[in-house]
Chain A
Amino acid sequence: AQSVSQHNHHVILSEAASLELGCNYSYGGTVNLFWYVQYPGQHLQLLLKYFSGDPLVKGIKGFEAEFIKRKFSLNLRKPSVQWSDTAEYFCAVNGYGNKLVFGAGTILRVKS
């Protein structure tokens, strides 16, 4: 069965700091990878997605990610975070069918 690991459960940063959130998956085949964000009281929103091609992926709100196949990872990055980036971030993997499996989530708090 596929699984997803997010390395940090809580991250606290100051505004303008750089962000990197790790995500590793276990699945031997071709995967679809997603990062979702859940702002307080809001719905899960798609930040970015990856299937194939350029391993550097651009998402919304200034987020980007790098796919490293040999590490089975899609790490989320943002060069300079803002207070409004305070949210919970979920990595998700879909290797086959309709079973999108989510990681445990990372709660990011940005101090202003």
Chain B
Amino acid sequence: DTEVTQTPKHLVMGMTNKKSLKCEQHMGHRAMYWYKQKAKKPPELMFVYSYEKLSINESVPSRFSPECPNSSLLNLHLHALQPEDSALYLCASSQEGSVDYDSPLHFGNGTRLTVT
């Protein structure tokens, strides 16, 4: 079982709703990541927090707003999403502030988001 916990597992929201995805890890990892995975596609990087600071934003629309309250928690706030934003949202963490051989990504199970 994964040590990166994501809640909720499934979420259905309307285009005018505001919701949040949550991710938690207690491995003492220094970096946390949000990936988006559409059906039959590979995961695509959205955001990276390294040492609790946003280090990478892959030109993600502002309707997605990440937050890292502390080194163990990562949130993704959602507002005014579009149906095409429906996807599996994956959280990951790495031991060090960057990904490399000694610090690979550990993934959560994901949140399956459907925007109606």
Partners in one complex: yes
Interface size class, chain A: 20 to 34
Decide if A49 is an interface residue (CB 8 Å cutoff).
Answer: yes
**Cβ contact within 8 Å between A90 and B107:** no
Whether A98 contacts B101 in the complex (CB less than 8 A), given A43-B2, A43-B4, A43-B110, comes out as no
User: Total A-B residue pairs with C-beta atoms closer than 8 Å?
Assistant: 60
DSSP majority for the A interface?
strand
CB contacts (< 8 Å) of B31 on chain A: these are 98
A positions within 8 Å CB-CB of B: 32, 34, 36, 42-46, 49-51, 90, 94, 97-105
B positions within 8 Å CB-CB of A: 2, 4, 31, 33, 40-45, 48, 50, 55-56, 90, 92, 94, 97-101, 104-110
**Cβ contact within 8 Å between B48 and A98:** yes
**Cβ contact within 8 Å between A97 and B56:** yes
Q: List 28 A-B contacts (CB under 8 A).
A: A32-B101, A34-B104, A34-B105, A36-B107, A43-B2, A43-B4, A43-B108, A43-B110, A44-B105, A45-B107, A46-B105, A46-B106, A49-B101, A50-B101, A90-B42, A94-B99, A97-B98, A98-B56, A98-B94, A98-B97, A98-B98, A98-B99, A99-B45, A99-B56, A100-B45, A102-B44, A104-B41, A105-B42
